C-alpha cells in the first residue's frame, strides 16, 4: 500500500485506534504492518533490542497481531509475543524484560474497533511521539533487518506478583468475601476470576468467557447501562462487592453490596485515604473529570492533590516525573506506584480494593457512605466528528474566556465562576458545582460531566453549558 494512504485520523493523543478493515479511516493488516515498522524503527533508535507484544480478545486480534509482528521483525528488533492477555500484562512484561511493549487492543470501544498502546524505553507514547510514527510512515523511514521471534507465557508471573503483593487478604480475612466479577466478555475473563479466588474470595463469574463479539453488553464499565447485569447479580447473590472490567482489563467499575454504582473518583478517594494513612504527604493525581470532593479528601488525609489532563499516557508520564504514589481517572483507570509499577492495571486495582474491604469491619456500602458525595452525572458523550471537536473546544474557550460580559448578556445566566481550568477542554467551577466539556481523544465525541450541591444547581450549570455550546454549534444534540 502507498504510505500516504494511511489515515492520520487513527493517530490519537495517547494511542492509535480505528475501525478494522476500513481502508480510509481504520486499521487494515497493511496499515498495522507499517505501524509495526515505525515502532520498531523508533525503538531501535532508542537502543531497544526487543519488544513485548500482546493482544486482547477481539476477533481481529490474531491477524492484526501477525501483521504487527511482521512489521516489527522487518526492522531487526526482536519480538516477545505474550499472546492474548489483558493490557497490564504487556506493561509488566515490558517492565520486566525489555522496557518496550505494544498492546493490540480496542479497549472499551465497539467490536469493530482495534488499536495499539505503545511503550518505548519505559515511556508510554503520546502526543508528538504518536505523530512521529505517522510521519515516519508517510516518509517511509524504516530500519531494515531481521529480528528474532519468541513466545512467552507471563500469566503465572503476573498472578504470583499480585498474590505476593496482596498478602493481607489471606491473613486477615476470617470469612470469604463474595465477589461478582463481570468481565463483559473481555480479556480480563482469562485470569481475573481465578486470581481473585486465590485471594480467598468466593467468586461469581459473569460474562467471563472471552468473546470479541461482546454479546452481553458493551465492554465499558464507565457507562451505567453496562453495569445493570452486575447490579442484579450482586443483589441476587447477596454479594459483598461487584467488580467490572473493560475490554482489555485496564478499567475498573465498582458496585457495592447494595447495588450502588461507585464512580471511579470516589473509589480513588478510598485508595488515597488508605495510602496516605501509611505514606502521609504523598502526591495523588487525578483527571479533570473527577469530583471536587476528591481534592478535599486527599488534602484532609495529608496528601498533595494534583489535577491532570485525561489520558493514560499523560497520567503515567506525570506520575513518573512527580513520584506520585497514586493516580486515577474518571474513566476507571487506576495507577498505583505504591507497591506496584505505576501503570494502569484494573485487575491489581480490584485486588487493592478487596484488601481494603477485607480489613474493614463494615460493608462496602458503609465504607463508601463515609466518603463525601455530590449530585453528579456520569460521562456524557455528544457526537461531533474528529475533524471538528478540537476546533469546537477552542472556539468555546475563546467565547467564554475572552468575551465573558457579552456571553453573560446573550445567555442570561449569572456567569461568575470561581475558577476556569483549561488543562484539558474547559472546566468551570462555581461555589455550587462545576461543569466540564472536553474533546474525546479516542472517539468522535465531546465529553461532558457535571457536579453540584443540589439538583437545581446542576440544572443551571448544565443549561449554561448547553446554551454556550449551541451558540458555537447549533447542530449539537443533547440528552439533558
- Segment 374-421, tens digit of pLDDT: 999 988 999 999 889 999 999 999 998 765 544 443 444 456 778 999
3-154 fold: Alpha-D-Glucose-1,6-Bisphosphate; Chain A, domain 3 (3.40.120)
The segment(s) of the chain belonging to CATH 3.40.120.10 are 3-154, 177-369
Q: What is the pLDDT of residue 382?
A: 97
Q: Which residue has the cell 507499517?
A: 34
The CA distance from 417 to 412, in Å, is 15
Instruction: Name the one residue in this structure whose C-alpha cell is 507514547.
Output: 125
Q: What is the pLDDT of residue 408?
A: 44
Please give the CATH superfamily to which domain 177-369 belongs: Alpha-D-Glucose-1,6-Bisphosphate, subunit A, domain 3 (3.40.120.10)
Mean pLDDT of 186-214: 97
- Alpha carbon dihedral 371, 218, 237, 361, in 10-degree steps, equals -20
pLDDT at site 246: 97
- The answer to whether residue 107 is catalytic is yes
| Nearby residues of 354 by Cβ (< 8 Å), 6 or more positions away | 166, 169, 177, 179, 196, 199, 201, 241
Phi, psi (deg, nearest 5) at residue 12: -95, -175
pLDDT one-digit tens code per residue, 366-378: 999 999 999 999 8
Instruction: Quote the pTM value.
Output: 0.93
pLDDT at residue number 410: 46
For 396, the grid coordinates are: 468555546
164 phi-psi bin (left φ>0, alpha ψ -120 to 50, beta other): alpha
Between 311 and 179, the more confident residue is: 179
Catalytic residue among 60, 65, 107, 376: 107
The CA distance from 451 to 448, in Å, is: 11
pLDDT greater than 90 at residue 314: no
CB atoms within 10 A of CB 252: 28
Residue owning grid cell 470532593 = 293
Residue 13 pLDDT > 60, yes or no?
Answer: yes
172 pLDDT more than 80 = no
pLDDT over 90 (residue 442): no
pLDDT band at 3 (very low <50, low <70, confident <90, very high): low
To which residue does cell 480510509 refer? 24
Distance CA 424, CA 328 (A): 15
Who's near 471: CB < 8 A, 6+ residues apart? 399, 410, 411
Mean pLDDT across 67-84: 98
- Selected from 3.90.190.20, 3.40.50.300, 3.40.50.620, 3.30.310.50, the CATH number assigned to the domain covering 375-472 reads 3.30.310.50
Measured from the Cβ of residue 115, the count of other Cβ atoms closer than 10 Å reads: 27
Residue 168 pLDDT exceeds 70:
no
pLDDT band per the 50, 70, 90 thresholds, residue 174: low
The stretches of 74-191 forming alpha helices (DSSP H) are: 87-97, 128-139, 155-165, 167-172
In this prediction, residue 183 has a pLDDT band, given cuts at 50, 70 and 90, of very high
Q: pLDDT over 70 for what percent of the chain?
A: 95
pLDDT at 409: 39
pLDDT in tens, 250-276: 999 999 999 999 999 999 999 999 999
The per-residue pLDDT for 412 is 43
- Separation CA 352–CA 8 (nearest Å): 39
pLDDT bin (cut points 50, 70, 90) of residue 437 is very high
Amino acid at each position: 500500500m502507498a504510505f500516504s494512504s494511511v489515515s492520520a485520523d487513527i493517530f490519537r493523543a495517547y494511542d492509535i485506534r480505528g475501525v478494522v478493515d476500513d481502508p480510509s479511516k481504520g486499521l487494515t493488516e497493511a496499515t498495522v504492518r507499517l505501524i509495526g515498522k515505525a515502532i520498531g524503527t523508533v525503538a531501535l533508535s532508542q537502543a531497544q533490542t526487543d519488544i513485548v507484544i500482546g493482544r486482547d480478545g477481539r476477533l481481529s486480534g490474531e491477524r492484526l497481531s501477525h501483521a504487527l509482528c511482521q512489521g516489527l521483525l522487518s526492522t531487526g528488533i526482536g519480538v516477545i509475543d505474550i499472546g492474548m492477555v489483558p493490557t497490564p500484562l504487556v506493561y509488566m512484561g515490558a517492565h520486566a524484560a525489555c522496557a518496550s511493549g505494544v498492546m493490540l487492543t480496542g479497549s472499551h470501544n465497539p467490536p469493530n474497533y482495534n488499536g495499539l498502546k505503545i511503550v518505548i524505553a519505559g515511556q508510554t507514547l503520546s502526543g508528538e511521539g504518536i505523530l512521529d510514527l505517522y510521519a515516519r510512515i508517510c516518509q517511509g523511514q524504516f530500519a531494515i533487518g531481521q529480528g528474532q521471534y519468541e513466545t512467552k507465557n507471563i500469566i503465572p508471573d503476573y498472578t504470583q506478583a499480585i498474590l505476593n503483593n496482596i498478602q493481607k487478604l489471606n491473613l486477615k480475612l476470617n470469612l470469604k468475601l463474595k465477589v461478582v466479577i463481570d468481565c463483559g466478555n473481555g480479556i480480563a475473563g482469562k485470569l481475573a476470576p481465578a486470581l481473585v479466588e486465590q485471594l480467598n474470595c468466593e467468586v461469581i463469574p459473569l460474562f467471563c468467557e472471552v468473546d470479541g463479539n461482546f454479546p452481553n453488553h458493551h465492554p465499558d464499565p464507565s457507562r451505567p447501562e453496562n453495569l445493570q447485569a452486575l447490579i442484579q447479580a450482586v443483589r441476587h447473590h447477596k454479594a459483598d462487592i461487584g467488580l467490572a472490567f473493560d475490554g482489555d482489563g485496564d478499567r475498573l467499575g465498582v458496585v457495592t453490596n447494595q447495588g450502588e454504582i461507585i464512580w471511579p473518583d470516589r473509589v480513588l478517594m478510598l485508595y488515597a485515604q488508605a495510602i496516605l494513612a501509611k505514606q502521609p504527604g504523598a502526591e495523588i493525581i487525578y483527571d479533570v473529570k473527577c469530583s471536587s470532593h476528591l481534592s478535599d479528601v486527599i488534602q484532609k488525609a495529608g496528601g498533595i492533590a494534583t489535577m491532570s489532563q485525561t489520558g493514560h499516557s499523560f497520567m503515567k508520564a506525570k506520575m513518573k516525573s512527580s513520584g506520585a504514589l497514586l493516580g486515577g481517572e474518571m474513566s476507571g483507570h487506576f495507577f498505583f506506584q505504591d507497591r506496584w509499577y505505576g501503570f494502569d492495571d484494573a485487575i491489581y486495582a480490584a485486588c487493592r480494593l478487596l484488601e481494603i474491604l477485607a480489613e474493614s469491619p463494615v460493608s462496602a456500602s458503609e465504607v463508601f457512605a463515609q466518603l463525601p458525595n455530590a449530585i453528579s452525572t456520569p460521562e456524557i458523550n455528544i457526537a461531533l466528528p474528529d475533524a471538528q471537536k478540537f476546533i469546537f473546544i477552542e472556539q468555546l474557550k475563546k467565547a467564554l474566556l475572552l468575551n465573558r460580559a457579552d456571553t453573560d448578556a446573550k445567555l442570561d445566566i449569572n456567569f461568575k465562576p470561581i475558577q476556569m481550568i483549561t488543562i484539558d477542554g474547559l472546566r468551570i467551577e462555581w461555589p455550587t458545582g462545576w461543569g466540564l466539556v472536553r474533546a474525546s481523544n479516542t472517539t468522535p465525541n465531546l465529553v461532558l460531566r457535571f457536579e453540584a450541591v443540589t439538583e437545581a444547581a446542576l440544572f443551571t450549570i448544565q443549561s449554561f453549558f448547553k446554551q454556550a455550546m449551541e451558540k458555537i454549534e447549533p447542530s449539537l444534540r443533547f440528552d439533558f
